Amino acid sequence: MINKQAKRNTRHKRIRARVKGTAERPRLCVYRSNKKLYAQIIDDDKGVTLVASSDATDLVKKAIDKGIKKVVFDRGGFIYTGRVRSFAEATRTAGLIF
């Protein structure tokens, strides 16, 4: 029997095979712990984290200050529901374009 973490890792590998962040469209990577949700905006070409935060509006504010408006969403193997979905919608309404 495969546990939840192994299933998430499989989904995450499948997503990361297709989703890649560039300088024009960096990757918005989300990690969901039991208590919080963390997000980073990453340029995969350089291998650099551009912005990191656990608050959607704070993340968008920092990203817009750095000139980032378009991103690629990486849900990190988590199912697009609940906190992950509400975080994505909050970043969209705050001004990021997926």
Residue 51 φ/ψ, nearest 5 degrees:
-145, 140
Q: How confident is the model at residue 1 (pLDDT cuts 50, 70, 90)?
A: low
Please write the tens of the pLDDT for every residue from 16-63: 888 888 889 999 999 999 999 999 999 999 999 999 999 999 999 999
User: What CATH architecture applies to the domain 4-94?
Assistant: 2-Layer Sandwich (3.30)
Please write the tens of the pLDDT for every residue from 61-72: 999 999 999 999
Beta strands in 10-71 (DSSP E): 27-32, 37-43, 48-53
What pTM did the predictor assign?
A: 0.87
